[in-house]
């Protein structure tokens, strides 16, 4: 299903949702990837577009870099910080240095990580959830099949192409008694699958990511002109929506699929450029906030500039919405995640305020999403996921709680309890960033009607192997840390208890994977949310993301820049303001919505006290 939306959008410029949806269903059996899709992807990367001067970024990311107009477009290959590690040097899973297979990811998950519930004393669920929004905006591995690797009896289905199902140990205390032998895992499409002439693939394969590589809200607007056409209303600059009790939501469709379950006539799925919109309630809610924010901006700009046509209103609203999102991402969210001082030292942010520009765009660096970031390091923060979501009143009283596993890919609850869930998002504590993972994602991920589900930690480890991510010890060395020569050398960053667990799982200290070893490190100086090895990778990724984007909101380039008064307004953006402006009937929130409520340091205040971006600065804007 994750392949299908993009597949249809590339092949068919359909403006009617019904035809598009029917074509998705019609082509479901054409997976993993057919010749037409291969040809279209290859063509995208072969033909250079004619770039026109514009202050608006293209929907597909082309022409962001004038000298290299194809840099950053959809279906680009994941890049690498270190060379790939595959068993055969090309694509098979790496093995132990002893020559044996590495242990099952499920075995690692159950023997390394705990399932204790330890709440974070500082941060709300919004902190975790915004990180997932950014992850989805930046990358999306193209899955090679929509079918499950495991049959209805939970045994291997060898007919599914590119299946590397996760084996379940015979002594697994939760799954073995239910006769579960495998967990679904389908490998991602790579460049050798596409085989784009004349560039024949030599050596290790590189996987494909479907959206643009830029932080540009592609999850809302799409990454191809065909997606964009389906999602726009072409009236007043607005995005298409459905209405419930006078409130806007993404358009509905009612055909069940792998990423959204229809169990009754009351169920529906949300239409988006990214099918993961339906994955979990809080993820959906934030995407609804940004959809509503676009339309809120468009309506206000229309009042201020009644002479603007649909295209002008749409492009200006998209531009402002993305700018606000980038500001919140780097100056409100990432400063917690990577540490304020660390980001200043690494020139990811600056202590600028008001109307000062930042002019360090680097046209010589290619915009990239690094494999090690998207498919190993960044997945560590699944540890923050809270498995039970609180529904709260405006006075922040708990009405009820829901289990995450009951609402994976079932968005109907969104419209039934939109504000109650939203208040929980910015009030409830997330799980602590540690070695504990909620059982809702270790045993019940995407369970639907089953009595069990998948294991997200096991899937994360397997995805690292799928993408040939180099080992933990190699990254320690690459990041300037001492290379371990014995198990004991890991004690500089990992506790003795965790090193003992690693010894019981891996045959050699050299076998430890980045997606495991990196998650066990002690946090850097209590100023970030990761250890030094993963922090090193995050620094590389988020520096690249900002300095390679010619349209970055702080740019002073006359061709793309906001005016100084406009930039000063963008810098008033906050997640709290997004929450206030786009909830149904919420009137109060704490100013720092990623931080827990504190009566003295971060009290709940009326929304009127949250700074507002003054859109009048765009009156009669050129």
- Cβ atoms of 522 and 335 within 8 Å: the answer is no
- Cβ atoms of 391 and 251 within 8 Å: the answer is no
Nearby residues of 379 by Cβ (< 8 Å), 6 or more positions away:
460, 463, 515
What tokens appear for 608 in the block?
């009127």
Which has the closest alpha carbon to 403: 353, 366, 432, 441?
441
Q: Is 66 helix (H, G, I), strand (E, B) or coil?
A: coil
- Cβ atoms of 183 and 166 within 8 Å: the answer is yes
Nearby residues of 35 by Cβ (< 8 Å), 6 or more positions away:
none
Task: Quote the crossing angle between the two packed helices 418-427 and 125-138, to the nearest 10°.
Answer: 100
CA distance 97 to 116: 33
3-state SS record for 341-410: HHHHHCCCCCCCCCCCCCCCCCCCCCCCCEHHHHCCHHHHHHHHCCCEEEEECCCCCEEEEEEHHHCCCC
CA dihedral over 354, 59, 418, 388, signed as positive or negative? negative
Distance from CA of residue 30 to its chain's centroid?
A: 26
CA distance 155 to 181: 6
- Cβ atoms of 168 and 455 within 8 Å: the answer is no
What tokens appear for 336 in the block?
């917690």
Q: Token match 């002008």: residue?
A: 312
CA dihedral over 151, 156, 161, 166, signed as positive or negative? positive
Is 100 catalytic? The answer is no
Q: Which of 50, 136, 282, 417 is an active site residue?
A: 136
Q: Is 208 helix (H, G, I), strand (E, B) or coil?
A: strand
Asked if residue 382 belongs to a known ligand binding site, the reply is yes
Nearby residues of 562 by Cβ (< 8 Å), 6 or more positions away:
323, 553, 570
Catalytic residues: 136
Residues contributing to the annotated binding site for heme b? 382
């Amino acid at each position: 299903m994750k392949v299908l939306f993009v597949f249809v959008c590339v092949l068919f410029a359909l403006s009617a949702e019904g035809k598009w949806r029917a074509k998705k269903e019609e082509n479901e059996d054409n997976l993993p990837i057919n010749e037409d899709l291969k040809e279209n992807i290859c063509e995208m990367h072969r033909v250079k577009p004619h770039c026109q001067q514009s202050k608006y970024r293209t929907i597909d990311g082309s022409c962001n870099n004038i000298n290299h107009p194809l840099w950053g477009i959809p279906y680009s290959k994941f890049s690498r910080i270190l060379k790939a590690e595959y068993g055969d040097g090309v694509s098979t899973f790496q093995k132990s240095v002893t020559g044996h297979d590495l242990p099952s990811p499920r075995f690692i998950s159950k023997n390394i990580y705990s399932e204790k519930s330890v709440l974070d004393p500082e941060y709300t669920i919004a902190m975790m959830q915004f990180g997932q929004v950014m992850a989805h905006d930046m990358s999306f591995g193209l899955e090679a099949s929509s079918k499950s690797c495991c049959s209805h009896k939970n045994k291997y289905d060898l007919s599914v192409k590119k299946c590397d199902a996760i084996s379940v140990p015979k002594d697994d205390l939760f799954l073995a008694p239910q006769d579960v032998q495998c967990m679904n895992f389908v490998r991602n499409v790579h460049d050798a699958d596409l085989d784009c002439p004349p560039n024949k693939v030599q050596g290790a394969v590189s996987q494909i990511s479907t959206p643009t590589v830029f932080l540009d809200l592609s999850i809302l607007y799409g990454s191809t002109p065909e997606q964009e056409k389906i999602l726009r209303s072409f009236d007043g600059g607005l995005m298409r929506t459905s209405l419930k009790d006078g409130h806007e939501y993404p358009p509905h469709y009612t055909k069940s699929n792998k990423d959204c379950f229809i169990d009754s006539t009351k169920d529906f799925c949300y239409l988006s450029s990214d099918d993961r919109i339906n994955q979990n309630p809080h993820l959906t809610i934030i995407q609804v906030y940004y959809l509503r924010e676009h339309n809120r901006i468009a309506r206000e700009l229309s009042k201020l500039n009644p002479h603007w046509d649909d295209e002008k209103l749409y492009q200006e609203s998209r531009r402002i919405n993305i700018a606000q999102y980038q500001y919140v991402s780097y100056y409100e969210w990432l400063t917690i995640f990577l540490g304020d001082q660390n980001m200043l030292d690494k020139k990811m942010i600056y202590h600028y305020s008001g109307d000062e520009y930042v002019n360090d765009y680097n046209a010589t660096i290619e915009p990239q999403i690094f494999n090690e970031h998207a498919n190993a390091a960044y997945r560590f923060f699944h540890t923050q996921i809270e498995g039970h979501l609180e529904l709260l009143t405006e006075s922040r009283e708990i009405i009820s709680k829901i289990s995450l596993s009951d609402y994976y890919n079932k968005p109907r609850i969104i419209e039934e309890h939109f504000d109650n869930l939203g208040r929980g998002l910015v009030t409830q504590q997330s799980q602590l960033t540690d070695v504990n993972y909620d059982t809702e994602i270790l045993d019940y991920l995407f369970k639907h009607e089953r009595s069990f589900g998948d294991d997200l930690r096991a899937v994360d480890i397997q995805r690292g192997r799928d993408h040939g991510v180099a080992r933990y010890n190699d990254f320690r060395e690459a990041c300037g840390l001492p290379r371990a020569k014995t198990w004991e050398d890991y004690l500089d960053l990992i506790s003795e208890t965790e090193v003992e667990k690693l010894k019981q799982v891996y045959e050699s200290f050299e076998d430890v994977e980045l997606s495991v070893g990196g998650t066990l490190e002690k946090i850097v100086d209590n100023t970030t949310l990761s250890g030094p090895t993963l922090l090193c990778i995050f620094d590389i990724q988020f520096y690249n993301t900002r300095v390679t984007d010619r349209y970055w909101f702080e740019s002073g380039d006359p061709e793309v820049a906001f005016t100084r008064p406009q930039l000063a307004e963008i810098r008033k953006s906050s997640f709290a303001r997004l929450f206030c402006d786009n909830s149904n009937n919420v009137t109060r929130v704490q100013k720092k919505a990623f931080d827990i409520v504190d009566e003295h340091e971060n009290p709940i205040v009326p929304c009127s006290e949250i700074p507002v971006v003054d859109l009048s600065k765009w009156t009669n804007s050129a």
